[in-house]
Amino acid sequence: MHLSKLLLSSTDASSAQCISDLRQRLLKAAISKQPHILASIDNQQIRDLIQQVVAGDDPSMLNFDQIQAINEWLEHLDDNQSGRKRYAPPI
Protein backbone atom coordinates (compact mmCIF):
# COMPACT_ATOMS: atom_id res chain seq x y z
CA MET A 1 0.00 0.00 0.00
CA HIS A 2 2.86 2.37 0.78
CA LEU A 3 4.41 1.72 -2.64
CA SER A 4 1.13 2.46 -4.42
CA LYS A 5 0.93 5.83 -2.63
CA LEU A 6 4.44 6.66 -3.79
CA LEU A 7 3.65 5.65 -7.36
CA LEU A 8 0.37 7.56 -7.30
CA SER A 9 1.97 10.75 -6.00
CA SER A 10 4.74 10.40 -8.58
CA THR A 11 2.14 9.97 -11.32
CA ASP A 12 0.19 12.96 -10.00
CA ALA A 13 3.35 15.08 -10.03
CA SER A 14 4.19 13.92 -13.57
CA SER A 15 0.66 14.66 -14.71
CA ALA A 16 0.72 18.12 -13.15
CA GLN A 17 4.10 18.85 -14.76
CA CYS A 18 2.86 17.65 -18.15
CA ILE A 19 -0.22 19.88 -17.94
CA SER A 20 1.91 22.82 -16.83
CA ASP A 21 4.28 22.27 -19.77
CA LEU A 22 1.33 21.99 -22.15
CA ARG A 23 -0.13 25.29 -20.94
CA GLN A 24 3.22 27.01 -21.19
CA ARG A 25 3.90 25.81 -24.74
CA LEU A 26 0.40 26.67 -25.93
CA LEU A 27 0.69 30.12 -24.42
CA LYS A 28 4.07 30.74 -26.06
CA ALA A 29 2.75 29.48 -29.40
CA ALA A 30 -0.32 31.71 -29.21
CA ILE A 31 1.75 34.79 -28.40
CA SER A 32 4.34 34.06 -31.10
CA LYS A 33 1.67 33.53 -33.77
CA GLN A 34 -0.42 36.52 -32.67
CA PRO A 35 1.92 39.13 -31.15
CA HIS A 36 -0.83 41.75 -31.37
CA ILE A 37 -2.30 40.11 -28.26
CA LEU A 38 0.45 41.65 -26.13
CA ALA A 39 0.36 44.88 -28.09
CA SER A 40 -3.30 45.29 -27.13
CA ILE A 41 -2.31 45.80 -23.48
CA ASP A 42 -2.17 49.53 -22.71
CA ASN A 43 -0.89 49.12 -19.14
CA GLN A 44 2.88 48.51 -19.26
CA GLN A 45 2.92 46.93 -15.80
CA ILE A 46 0.28 44.39 -16.85
CA ARG A 47 2.12 43.73 -20.12
CA ASP A 48 5.29 43.02 -18.13
CA LEU A 49 3.40 40.64 -15.82
CA ILE A 50 1.93 38.75 -18.77
CA GLN A 51 5.33 38.53 -20.45
CA GLN A 52 6.66 37.07 -17.20
CA VAL A 53 3.96 34.40 -17.29
CA VAL A 54 4.65 33.65 -20.96
CA ALA A 55 8.35 33.27 -20.12
CA GLY A 56 7.43 30.68 -17.50
CA ASP A 57 8.08 32.81 -14.45
CA ASP A 58 5.47 33.13 -11.75
CA PRO A 59 4.98 36.78 -10.88
CA SER A 60 4.84 37.80 -7.26
CA MET A 61 1.48 38.24 -5.62
CA LEU A 62 -0.83 40.49 -7.60
CA ASN A 63 -2.64 43.35 -5.95
CA PHE A 64 -6.33 44.11 -6.48
CA ASP A 65 -5.69 46.76 -9.16
CA GLN A 66 -3.48 44.41 -11.15
CA ILE A 67 -6.04 41.61 -10.95
CA GLN A 68 -8.78 43.98 -12.05
CA ALA A 69 -6.68 45.32 -14.95
CA ILE A 70 -5.86 41.80 -16.13
CA ASN A 71 -9.50 40.72 -15.93
CA GLU A 72 -10.62 43.81 -17.89
CA TRP A 73 -8.01 43.13 -20.55
CA LEU A 74 -9.08 39.47 -20.79
CA GLU A 75 -12.72 40.52 -21.20
CA HIS A 76 -11.69 42.99 -23.90
CA LEU A 77 -9.69 40.25 -25.60
CA ASP A 78 -12.68 37.88 -25.45
CA ASP A 79 -14.98 40.58 -26.86
CA ASN A 80 -12.59 41.20 -29.75
CA GLN A 81 -12.32 37.49 -30.54
CA SER A 82 -16.11 37.07 -30.44
CA GLY A 83 -16.55 40.06 -32.74
CA ARG A 84 -14.10 38.66 -35.27
CA LYS A 85 -15.87 35.31 -35.33
CA ARG A 86 -19.27 36.96 -35.69
CA TYR A 87 -18.21 39.09 -38.66
CA ALA A 88 -15.87 36.64 -40.34
CA PRO A 89 -16.78 36.05 -43.97
CA PRO A 90 -17.88 32.52 -44.86
CA ILE A 91 -15.22 30.30 -46.34
Which residues span the domain enclosing 58? 2-86
List the one residue out of 59, 53, 58, 56 whose CA is nearest residue 38: 53
Q: How many domains does the structure of the chain reveal? A: 1
In the predicted model, what is the mean pLDDT of residues 64-86?
Answer: 81
Q: How much is the pLDDT for 78?
A: 82
Quote the mean pLDDT of the chain: 80
Residue 70 lies in a domain: yes
Residues 6+ apart with CB under 8 A from 57: none
Residues 6+ apart with CB under 8 A from 80: 40
Residue 91 lies in a domain: no
Task: Please give the model's pTM, rounded to 2 decimal places.
Answer: 0.60
Q: What is the pLDDT of residues 26-59, one digit of tens each?
A: 988 998 998 888 888 888 988 988 888 888 887 7
Residue 41 lies in a domain: yes
Q: How much is the pLDDT for 76?
A: 87
Residue 9 lies in a domain: yes
